[in-house]
Structure 1
Amino acid sequence: MGRAIKSFRTKMLVLFMLSIATSALVTYGVYRGLQYYYHNYVYYEDQIALWRKWILKVGDVNFFLILFIPLAILMFYLLTIPYSGYFKSISKGIHHLANGEFSEQVVIETRDEFQSIAEDINRAGMKLQEAVTRGDFAESSKDQLVLNLAHDLRTPLTSVIGYLEYILQHEELSKVTSTHYTTIAYTKSKRLETLIEQLFEITRMNYGNLSLKKKPIDLIQLLVQLTEELYPIFESQQLEARVDLPTTVQIHGDGELLARVFENLLANAARYGNDGKYIDIVGNILDDHIEIIVRNYGDFIPQEELPFLFDMFYSGDRARTEKAGSTGLGLYIAKNIIEQHGGTILVQSDITATQFTVILPIGSGT
């Protein structure tokens, strides 16, 4: 609850209400001032009396709305000016990352999503600087990583800035339209937050800081539960899940991380498979391993893209399509998680179907 109160949307709503309240008080003050002046200092023959008759003809409410509405818009514009500066600071911070200037800090103290994004950018810069110092990757690799990072951070941020600037520059927008654009900006901000969270998860994986909490779990039960949870997504894409799994298979692993892997595969199958009718979830026991197949019958992946599909920030048309909302990190994370469980993840695709295969050791694992 406390986090919601401090959120960007809540602050925008508070500023909107504050601008309305302030404008209402100013308008009322003007009204009372004119009323007092008219009754105490104006004679019938005075010119201002003729204006009063015109105001009565137009209507007091209509006349003062002419003052109230522009004043409310002006107040909201003035109150939200600092947020335009926050976007510029974040954009500047990303620009520094893109240029390899990892020591530059983004300072925003708002106790909301802006401060979180600034802190995430600063941590990203710190981690990248540490990696460069240790020589974890070559200079060319660093340049490519930063380029991809800047691209993926900048895309949603550009949308957020664009929508908010549009709101600030178009005073005639209705409340409904303004709320609609603000909601879009908020959604893009959440996408940016998700991307940054994935980046830090990758950092923890690469530096060995991601600890697996392995314990005995029933993989089949996990898959059935995920299939049920994703049913609304399948239904919205007019897809039907066909499940062919063993009764039970015990493995030793981190249930939360494995759930993320299969949720990613199933969500991708729904996202890209809506040209077909089914999503197949098949399990086969191979000696001391279990093979899980997730297959869809929609768009296929070109053969030249398959070897790079699990690369971080893969830039193929399919993997990075904005329509699908892909960050180019999901499959990279999935492969890392599976490999840390002693398993393998494979992909094959042709004009008929696209199939992801996960192979994990049964029992105590590795």
Structure 2
Amino acid sequence: MKSNTFKEKAYGRLLRRLFFQTLALLAIAAILVLFLRSILRGKLADTLVYYIAILLDTDWYRAQDIYFIYIRNNIELIIGLIIVIFFFILFRLSSSLFTRYFDQMVAGVDKLSEEADEKIAMNPELKFMEIKLNEVKDRLKRRAEEAQAAEERKDELVVYLAHDIKTPLTSVIGYLSLLDEAYDMPAEQKAKYVHIALEKSYRLETLINEFFEITRYNLKSMPLYQKEINLCYMMIQVADELYPQLAPHGQDIRISIEENTIIWGDSEKLARVFNNILKNAIAYGDKNSSIDISAEENGNKVVICFENKGGIPKEKLNSIFEKFYRLDSARSSTTGGAGLGLAIAKDIITLHGGTIKAQSDNAHTIFTVELFNKQAEAAQL
């Protein structure tokens, strides 16, 4: 409301200024015409005859005849020509008043693409436009910086992934070469080498999948196939699928959700969201601890909480939903992903019209997701 009121006042000042400027030009034009007529008629005509006599070096009567023949008899034509000339002059002056504002607007728009931190400045009448353009410039600058930072993180991760792929690939080739060369290798040792090669192959598959994840990251144009989803059953299924990741850490998942709790959304994409949140809790949570999942209805929404032991530093908490951002600065070859999990989760939740946020202290981390529980509410977005 304040912004609209400010713009209305600014528009009013600008229109009043243009009105009075135009009115002043019309008044000047009228005065000039009257002045010309007074010059060419009455007593001032004698002055004009006097100067004609001087310029042509003739007597008064001859100059008077010339005045009547060439000026007085054609006075309407002369005044008409003078009016036309003044019209173009005044039109040029009047249009310059308008074009000056447009020139400032165009110059301000041109400055939007400049990388310099110089602020856009305009006349007081265009203050509202100056403020708006500076806001747009700041917004574009922030987006450019965020895009550049994301691209740098992406390039860094690609380098890390390329390096990490070599490690399991080298191991796979090495152990398979031993198996191929040593025909008489004991069965126990052969089984050990096969098991190691298989583990490295799985790791290699994970890294390759991360490459695909980076290159195909674009959820904005993906359609949603929404329907009613039983949240309790979905969480049980997601938790069961994560058992192989939970077991090595001594972790488990505890679900406290009513069996009749319903959410509205795309089941496949929401399952991916919950899977990514839980994977983050497994990777960065304390070992031998529990991950608690709870949910409660709040009007037309369902609030889902994921809580695990283990904290996230405050300086990193605001960045965890950025793409290609990882909590650990030094990438390990055995843990961690491309830093897209939580960024993808946020995009999917946003597509559903919901929200996702994280809070953490030194001991616990809580992810909170809000989703609609009715089709009609979600359809209003």
**Please, what TM-score do these two structures have when normalized by structure 2?**
0.52
Instruction: Please state how far the C-alpha of 1:288 moved relative to its aligned partner.
Output: 1.4
Q: How many angstroms apart in 2 are the aligned matches of 1:156 and 1:168? A: 19
Matches within 5 A, 1:1-366: 140=148, 144=152, 146-163=154-171, 166=174, 175=190, 179-180=194-195, 182-203=197-218, 205=219, 208-231=220-243, 233-275=245-287, 277-297=289-309, 299-317=310-328, 320-364=331-375, 365=378, 366=381
State the AA in 2 paired with 1:163: S
Query: How many Å apart are 1:146 and its aligned residue?
Result: 4.9
Please state whether the residue corresponding to 2:211 is helix, strand or coil: helix
8 Å CA contact 1:242–1:281 kept in 2: the answer is yes
TM-score, structure 1 normalization: 0.53
Q: Within 2, Cα distance between the matches of 1:330 and 1:149?
A: 14
Quote the offset at 1:259 in angstroms.
Answer: 0.7
Query: Identity of counterpart residues, as a percentage?
Result: 31
Q: Cα RMSD (Å) of the superposition?
A: 3.2
Corresponding residue for residue 121 of structure 1: none
Q: Which deviates more, 152-161 or 228-237? A: 228-237
**1:167/1:352 CA distance change after superposition, 3 Å:** closer
- Any stretches of 5+ residues in structure 2 without a counterpart? 1-142
Q: Unaligned regions of 5+ residues in structure 1, if any?
A: 1-135
Tell me the alpha carbon deviations over residues 303-358 of structure 1, each in whole angstroms, 9 at most, x when there is no partner. 11111111111143179554433321111111111111111111111122111111
On the 8 A contact 2:176/2:197 being kept in 1, the answer is: no
Per-residue deviation, 1:176:
5.1
Q: What is the Cα deviation at residue 240 of structure 1?
A: 4.0
User: How big is the shift at 1:360?
Assistant: 0.9
- In structure 2, relative to structure 1, the CA distance for the partners of 1:176 and 1:140 (3 Å cut) is same
1:335, 1:319 → 2: CA distance?
A: 24
> Whole-Å Cα distance in 2 between the matches of residues 222 and 272 of structure 1?
23
Q: Distance in 2 between matches of 1:230 and 1:165?
A: 29
- Contact map agreement 2:250 2:287 (CA 8 A) in 1: no
State the Cα distance separating 1:250 from its structure 2 match: 2.5
Distance in structure 2 (CA, Å) of the matches to 1:255 and 1:180: 35
Larger radius of gyration: 2
How far off its partner does 1:257 sit?
0.9
User: What is the aligned partner in structure 2 of residue 56 from structure 1?
Assistant: none
Q: Which has the higher helix share?
A: 2
Task: Flag the 1:216–1:200 CA change in 2: closer, same or farther, 3 A.
Answer: farther
> Is 1:343–1:361's contact at 8 Å kept on the other side of the alignment?
yes
